């Protein structure tokens, strides 16, 4: 059974920006993401949802795919936290509280060693290596299931450059940031290697669904 | 946990017709469905797929949802087979060969008793009763998961009339049949009770995604 590397529910602005440059504890995205994620939070299957309800239309098909057949996640260090350099603060255990939405092993790419730890159903491992090596570790941990590539922008670009991404869902929101960490100038840059369905949603975002040629 | 009743990947023509009137062993749909199902067969997640490959864009999000969290199916007798009246031919075990794609208990609505039987992971039960009673049986068998309402048109209409359907995905194909069993004159008939996202696909079908208001 093929184990895919999948980007799921990654959000960028209409100018292709996923995050700003001055990330801090208070600003995980380094900028005010504004309404960028509203579409996802409104769905019944949003992984962070705590109350019943929510929409079950097109957007919900995307959020409900977040965990389907996923056995591990890979993320960049900046998705895990705003710290740079050695891990001085081992009390910091991610943005997500005591119940992180991943519920699988998570591999955080970093040049600085740190012991693994578990939070509820999620176990964070801190690993150094090139994308192919980290993917190999994540695949082994996923036990036959797919691996989700969680972001941010820099990490996704690394794996795209290494040609390791199999499918990618990017929601493009109708906001414009002007500057920040850019996933692309245009999604068309990827058409040499990927098929692309461009699907406008009634919520205002445009879902970009890529799969390998 | 709420157990939804879900219609998944049901196909109709642009004039709302799901099947013709003269069903036979050779013509399960009573008419030549032509290209009506092409979109689904082209996807990686099509339940009947036997070879690798297939698209992973918008249409695949729909076919991959077919089995997600489904614990039982309800179908009308005419989806199971072309026979009418008492079950004379117990050799007939459905259209799907030795590996039916359901892989759960399936409840076939019929006025004529017949013993249950299993084919691979699927068990067919033959039940009489109004929609609410049959749904109750299917929910018990689904063990907390959702129930799929498999069709055909007459059966879906029955459950819609009884207001038992929670979500419904209908793919409208760009073919016109003129006469046959009609799901609707227009999808707008359901807007008093359902939200509706209308999503055109690059494959040519238009996905209609309904969820309860």
Do the domain assignments include residue B89? no
Split into its structural domains, chain B has a count of 1
Q: Do A57 and B196 touch (CB under 8 A)?
A: yes
Q: What is the pLDDT of residue A34?
A: 77
Do the domain assignments include residue A94? no
Do the domain assignments include residue B94? no
Residue A2 in contact with partner chain B when CB distance is under 8 A: yes
Please provide residue B123's backbone torsions phi and psi, each rounded to the nearest 5 degrees: -120, 125
Residue A206 in contact with partner chain B when CB distance is under 8 A: no
Question: DSSP letters of A88-139?
Answer: --TT---TTTTS-S--SEEEEE-SS----EEETTEEEEEE-S-HHHHHHHHH
Distance from CA of A125 to the nearest CA of B (A): 29
Q: What is the pLDDT of residue A1?
A: 64
Nearest in space to A165 (alpha carbons), one of A199, A140, A137, A190: A190
Contacts of A60 (CB under 8 A, 6+ apart): A43, A44, A45, A54, B211
Among A2, A58, A167, select the one facing B199 at the smallest CB separation. A58
Looking up residue B160, the CATH number of its domain turns out to be 3.40.430.10
Distances (CA, A) of A11 to A21, A59, B4, B74, B81: 16, 13, 29, 38, 46
Domain of A155?
Answer: 5-20+33-82+99-212
The neighbouring-strand residues paired with A93 are none
Residues in chain B predicted with pLDDT less than 50, given as ranges, are none
Do the domain assignments include residue A191? yes
Distance from CA of A30 to the nearest CA of B (A): 31
Do the domain assignments include residue B57? yes
Distance from CA of B84 to the nearest CA of A (A): 37
Within 10 A of A4 (CB to CB), how many other CB atoms are there? 20
In tens digits, what is the pLDDT along chain A, a chain of 213 residues?
689 999 999 999 999 999 877 788 888 888 778 788 899 999 999 988 888 899 999 999 999 999 999 999 999 999 999 888 999 888 899 999 999 999 999 999 999 999 999 999 999 999 999 999 999 999 999 999 999 999 999 999 999 999 999 999 999 999 999 999 999 999 999 999 999 999 999 999 999 999 999
Q: In a 10 Å sphere around its CB, with 0-12 CB exposed, 13-18 middle and 19+ buried, how is residue B49 labelled? A: middle
Residue B49 in contact with partner chain A when CB distance is under 8 A: no
Q: Do B195 and A55 touch (CB under 8 A)?
A: yes
Closest B-chain CA to A211: B56
Do the domain assignments include residue A42? yes
Q: What is the pLDDT of residue B1?
A: 64
Full-model pTM? 0.93
Do the domain assignments include residue B193? yes
Among B57, B197, B202, select the one facing A57 at the smallest CB separation. B197
Do the domain assignments include residue A44? yes
Distance from CA of B12 to the nearest CA of A (A): 19
Q: Do A55 and B199 touch (CB under 8 A)?
A: no
């Amino acid at each position: 059974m093929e184990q895919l590397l999948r980007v799921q529910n990654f959000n960028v602005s209409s100018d292709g920006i996923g995050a700003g440059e001055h990330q801090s504890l208070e600003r995980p995205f380094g900028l005010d993401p504004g309404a960028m994620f509203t579409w996802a939070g409104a769905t019944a299957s949003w992984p962070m949802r705590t109350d019943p309800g929510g929409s079950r239309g097109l957007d919900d098909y995307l959020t409900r795919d977040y965990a389907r057949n996923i056995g591990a996640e890979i993320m960049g260090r900046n998705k895990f936290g705003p710290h740079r350099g050695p891990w001085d603060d081992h009390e910091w255990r991610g943005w997500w509280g005591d119940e992180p939405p991943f519920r699988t092993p998570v591999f955080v790419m970093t040049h600085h060693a740190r012991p693994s730890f578990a939070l509820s159903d999620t176990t964070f491992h801190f690993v150094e290596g090139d994308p192919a090596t980290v993917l190999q570790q994540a695949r082994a941990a996923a036990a036959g299931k797919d691996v989700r590539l969680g972001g941010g922008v820099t990490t996704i670009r690394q794996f795209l450059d290494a040609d390791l991404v199999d499918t990618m869902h990017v929601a493009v929101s109708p906001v414009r940031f002007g500057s920040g960490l850019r996933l692309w100038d245009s999604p068309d840059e990827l058409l040499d290697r990927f098929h692309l369905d461009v699907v406008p949603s009634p919520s205002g975002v445009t879902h970009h669904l890529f799969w390998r040629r």
